[in-house]
Structure 1
Amino acid sequence: MTDQLARLNRLPLRDNLRGLTPYGAPQLDVPILLNVNENTHGVPEDVLKAISEAVTAAAAGLNRYPDREFSELRSALAEYLGHGLGAENIWAANGSNEVLQQTLQAFGGPGRTAMGFPPTYSMYPLLASGTDTEYVTGLRAAGYGLSAEYAAEQVRERQPNIVFLSSPNNPTGTGLGLDVVEAVYGAGEKSQTIVIVDEAYHEFAHDGTPSALTLLPGRERLIVTRTMSKAFALAGARLGYMAAAPEVTDALRLVRLPYHLSAVTQATALAALQHREALMADVEDIKMQRDRIVSELTRMGLKPAASDSNFVFFGGLENPHAVWQALLDCGVLIRDVGIPGHLRVTAGTEDETTAFLEALERILTGQTAVPA
């Protein structure tokens, strides 16, 4: 036991937090960073100028609290999402993780359960622990698929208070059919289960892929979460949001901290939404690089999963961690997600993608040594 851990264990920490480790991917200083699904294109110059001007204007009023209801931002997000949504359907917080946390605070807690279907986003069980909500795991089919019938059967059996459905799923990148969402929602009728569809990567889905937003009418227990971290290249701004029935946003008001969205955050998000055309142009380039990665990895004899996200999950590796280390030694950082035989890589710029593909091929063909 380390001295730091020993000191931590002397504190009166809640029992369900003992032994846990904080969430976090390696933050290393290497030339090519493709490990945490950031938008590596950065903020376009004209959008950066607009954000700077908006933040400067907001700074003049920093002696006052921000708009607690962030009314203008909620209206702008509703307009962006469409589907007949209004400001009353929208809620936002400091990243979609905080939206999920607030949802667990409102609908989870001691004596209640949240359910996920691993492999999926690793923050779900940590958010559950942080709110003293029991986290139960469902099962996926071989190849990490999830059918409507199988998912619904498990929800009926376990009767969780909250279900997490990630679409596209992280780390696999695969989309989820709306039939799965409908089936899970119906299966949770008896237990009044809150169903959260995490669409953090939806903007990267293939054209024509439907969103769970289309299912919101008449489903007051359905929540669809999004983020501006990925498609909008605003990971550093921390702005996530959700769409749901107005009564759900009212529930989150009961647990949110006062003035939780700063004036700077609101100004940044509004400026980005007003210039989304430039940002969406980069999304199209990222989708091209993602599809290029899938094609090239297949040519190399690996097994990439079909991806509707800005990353690619791929298998066929005998020693994935050794390959991860060899790539790092070449100056390319990707993600070892701890799944046997697999790694995950973010689709970056054309140059970053080329650097990754060329380094990986050298490793696979023996031109670059793999650590023992």
Structure 2
Amino acid sequence: MAEQSPRSGLGALLREDLRGETAYGAPQLSVRAALNTNENSYPVPDEVVADMLAELAAELPGLNRYPDREFTALREALAAYLSRGGTPVEAGQVWAGNGSNEVLLHLLQAFGGTGRRAIGFTPSYSMHSIIATTTATQWIAGKRSDDPARLFTLDPESVAAQIVSADPNIVFICSPNNPTGTAVGLDVVEAAYAAAPGAVVVVDEAYGEFARAGTPSALTLLAGRERLVVTRTMSKAFALAGGRLGYLAADPGLVDLLRLVRMPYHLSTQSQAVARAALRHADLMLSTVGVVKEQRDRLVTELTRLGYAPVPSDANFVLFGGLADAAVTWQALLDRGVLVRDVGIPHYLRVTAGTPEETTDFLEVLAALGPEHLLDRGEAN
């Protein structure tokens, strides 16, 4: 589903390590149920839209001037939001960018590069490896458990051993993980940090607000760990994917180093204004999280009933296996107006938890496809 690399003679001018690669890209199609990119299906509430418009109206006359390079008010608002979880976070610990991908890019620009290595535990968020490649950072694909009883999970011992072997400069851990939905315990993060005394350890918590009760955040580990970074986004739980605002929390000293690689005035006045308004209405913006989690759990239950093998999820999506041919099922669903994600794992697809109506639509269409789309259990291994 990715866009193709250049085919013309210009390709010969491309960096050698990028030749033959494909650009990241998820289909953006006009369908009845778009459940492929883990967006929040609920629109921004009218009350918040009105506040955003008021905030923008106050800022627009001043667009002849550059935006606040330090996005001070936004960092203060993000720190206050993170602190609501019970772990105090100061504005000096916060950094933001145009989506969490830009924040990840800043980290790799600062701590990766030629002759340096990054490790992540696959399957995981594909942009970690893609951004590593674009910054000339060697990517090492660590492994998750393939034990059916602990499928796609990580344990402290395995993570530590793989990190010691790789000797990386950057470690990526996704929790909840994309595309599997699995979260990790804090013991995994602690083991990774201890095993990598010369590395920055990045815990990607883009889906953190959707985690099941009792799932810990790595924010609680920040104190005393100057190499630990926790990344978040406003794209998912805040239903602000189009706003492009991602952020991180880390030691102030590490945050200060990111100023060396950011572009001048990288966060526009408009982006800062929209994000501040959304954060003022955090409770309202997050009011759909509970409904989305209900639909996620409903997907797990109903997919199991239909004979598929969903992975327990702490995110706003479900990865489900048991498919005879994932590509065939993906196309069959699309032909009937339902768009899900083929993440490249044989016999698996990923579906976003949308509105109750979208969930019903997906489940009814999938059920109507019939048992021929199910993998013969005897062929599963």
TM-based fold match above 0.5: yes
* Distance (Å, rounded) in 1 between the aligned partners of 2:19 and 2:107: 23
Structure 1: which amino acid aligns with 2:237? A
Question: Partner of 1:179 in structure 2?
Answer: 187
* Distance (Å, rounded) in 1 between the aligned partners of 2:354 and 2:10: 39
Gaps of 5+ in 1: 368-372
Contact 2:5 2:20 in 1 (8 A): no
Identity score, percent: 57
- 4+ residue stretches of structure 1 with deviation over 6 A? none
* Distance (Å, rounded) in 2 between the aligned partners of 1:209 and 1:260: 33
Structure 1: which amino acid aligns with 2:292? I
Question: Partner of 2:58 in structure 1?
Answer: 57
Structure 2: which amino acid aligns with 1:180? V
Deviations 1:230-279 (A, max 9, x none): 01111111000000000111010011011000010000000000001111
Question: Partner of 1:236 in structure 2?
Answer: 242
Structure 2: which amino acid aligns with 1:157? S
Q: How does 1:277-316 map to 2 (within 5 A)?
A: 277-316=283-322
* Distance (Å, rounded) in 2 between the aligned partners of 1:3 and 1:341: 27
* Distance (Å, rounded) in 2 between the aligned partners of 1:85 and 1:28: 39
Q: How does 1:1-372 map to 2 (within 5 A)?
A: 4-10=6-12, 12-82=13-83, 83-142=87-146, 143-189=151-197, 192-365=198-371
SS in 2 for 1:164: strand
SS in 2 for 1:313: strand
* Distance (Å, rounded) in 2 between the aligned partners of 1:3 and 1:222: 35
Deviations 1:153-191 (A, max 9, x none): 1111111000110000000001011110000000001xx
Structure 2: which amino acid aligns with 1:330? R
* Distance (Å, rounded) in 1 between the aligned partners of 2:370 and 2:120: 34
Structure 2: which amino acid aligns with 1:42? P
* Distance (Å, rounded) in 2 between the aligned partners of 1:275 and 1:98: 24
Aligned CA distance change for structure 1 residues 366 and 110 (closer, same or farther; 3 Å): closer
Contact 2:101 2:246 in 1 (8 A): yes
What is the Cα deviation at residue 365 of structure 1?
Answer: 4.5
Deviations 1:70-92 (A, max 9, x none): 00110110010011111000000
What is the Cα deviation at residue 4 of structure 1?
Answer: 4.7
Deviations 1:294-344 (A, max 9, x none): 110011111100100000000011111111111101100000111011000
What is the Cα deviation at residue 198 of structure 1?
Answer: 0.2
Structure 2: which amino acid aligns with 1:177? G
* Distance (Å, rounded) in 2 between the aligned partners of 1:4 and 1:199: 33
Deviations 1:37-61 (A, max 9, x none): 0011121111111112112222121
* Distance (Å, rounded) in 2 between the aligned partners of 1:45 and 1:4: 43
What is the Cα-based RMSD across aligned positions, in Å? 1.3
* Distance (Å, rounded) in 2 between the aligned partners of 1:45 and 1:186: 47
Question: Partner of 2:377 in structure 1?
Answer: none
For normalisation by structure 2, the TM-score amounts to 0.93
Contact 2:326 2:347 in 1 (8 A): yes
SS in 2 for 1:339: coil
- Matched residues, number: 363
